[in-house]
């Protein structure tokens, strides 16, 4: 069964995921360690995990497969899912993670961590999140769902 798994705690594109999911009639599972409201519909499910370190990531990794699209900005979760064989891993900013580019993404993450060494209140790359970024994400999710349904395992 095709599904979208969402690392949902800080996901800024939930509404866009819902809209695309309705269009494709695909199951959406939002995974988080804090509760928030979701639309009442049979295709959207909310999975509340405990507050443990990487609890949401672990649940997503355990429940992904060749029929899944994972949406996360967590590079290490993206790598785990790609190793498992997830059909596609997408960032909320409209970037696709692949076996070809994940190594570079992990290296960039490590370099940024070294550069900020000890600076408090530093956050990773501050992405602009406007209309163009949302459109880029929506287009990519549409494309990946179309490909998933064409190659449905």
Q: What is the pLDDT of residues 110-151, one digit of tens each?
A: 455 555 564 444 334 445 678 999 999 999 999 999 999 998
Residues in the chain: 153
In DSSP notation, 1-62 reads --EEEEE-TT-TTHHHHHHHHHHHT-EEEEEESS-------TTEEEEE--SSTTHHHHHHHH
Predicted confidence at residue 116, as pLDDT, reads: 59
> Bridge-partner residues for 6, per DSSP?
30, 71
Cβ(52)–Cβ(69) below 8 Å: no
CATH of the domain at 62: 3.40.50
User: How many domains would you assign to the chain?
Assistant: 1
- pLDDT-based confidence at 65, cuts 50/70/90? very high
Residue 86, classified by CB atoms within 10 Å of its CB into exposed (0-12), middle (13-18) or buried (19+), is buried
- pLDDT-based confidence at 52, cuts 50/70/90? confident
**Nearest CA-CA partner of 89 in 107, 104, 77:** 77
Cβ(55)–Cβ(38) below 8 Å: no
Predicted confidence at residue 113, as pLDDT, reads: 57
**Nearest CA-CA partner of 141 in 35, 3, 48:** 3
Predicted confidence at residue 105, as pLDDT, reads: 56
Q: What is the mean pLDDT of residues 14-26?
A: 96
Cβ(46)–Cβ(32) below 8 Å: yes
Q: What is the pTM of this model?
A: 0.84
Domain of residue 99, residue span:
3-150
Whole-number Cα distances in Å, 122 to 30, 77, 114, 125, 126: 27, 21, 12, 9, 10
If you average pLDDT over every residue of the chain, what do you get? 86
Task: Specify the higher pLDDT residue, 83 or 112.
Answer: 83
Q: What is the pLDDT of residues 39-50, one digit of tens each?
A: 999 999 999 999
Cβ(82)–Cβ(89) below 8 Å: yes
Residue 90 in this model has a pLDDT that exceeds 90: yes
Predicted confidence at residue 69, as pLDDT, reads: 97
Q: What is the mean pLDDT of residues 19-25?
A: 96
């Amino acid at each position: 069964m095709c599904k979208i798994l969402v690392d949902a705690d800080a996901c800024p594109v939930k509404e866009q995921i819902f809209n695309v999911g309705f269009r494709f009639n695909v199951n959406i599972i939002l995974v988080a360690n804090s509760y928030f409201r979701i639309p009442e519909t049979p295709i959207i499910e909310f999975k509340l995990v405990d507050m443990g370190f990487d609890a949401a990531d672990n649940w997503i990794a355990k429940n992904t497969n060749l029929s899944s699209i994972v949406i996360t900005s967590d590079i290490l979760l993206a790598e785990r899912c790609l190793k498992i064989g997830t059909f596609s891993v997408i960032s909320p900013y409209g970037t696709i993670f692949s076996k070809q580019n994940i190594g570079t993404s992990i290296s960039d993450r490590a370099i940024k961590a070294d550069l900020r060494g000890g600076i408090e209140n530093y956050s990773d790359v501050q992405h602009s999140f406007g209309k163009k970024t949302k459109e880029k994400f929506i287009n990519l999710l549409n494309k990946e769902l179309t490909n998933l349904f064409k190659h449905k395992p």
